[in-house]
Structure 1
């Protein structure tokens, strides 16, 4: 459900709310469709907030695979 229009870091966003009453999430989504903020309604009746900033994620080096160990033969 759309809650309202707001502004985050100079960008217009739509605030939408999803989920049941006791576990609501609010997404702040800019007009390009990018999430800008996530809010979680806690059990204590407080909103926990996480601001999201678009950025280039660096490529991580591949995780080395362990050397294969031969299986013992069973007869």
Structure 2
């Protein structure tokens, strides 16, 4: 990691937006060939009210974050 991010403390919403951008950019680089990623991005799309197109997505992301907070190596 090159340490580009100065502030290591981010909010849940900032982390969610970063995940969305990461997946979106991967999808674009991949030539927009994955229908599954397209559906995921559609559901995750951040909205101006601090939520997503599918409100459950932020909740699912929050659950995943809690798993990582409890076990830094979760899923790896």
TM-score calculated relative to the size of structure 2: 0.24
Larger Rg over CA atoms: 1
Q: Which has the higher contact order (CA 8 A, sep 6+)?
A: 2
TM-score calculated relative to the size of structure 1: 0.24
If each structure's helix is expressed as a fraction of its own residues, which one has the higher value?
A: 2
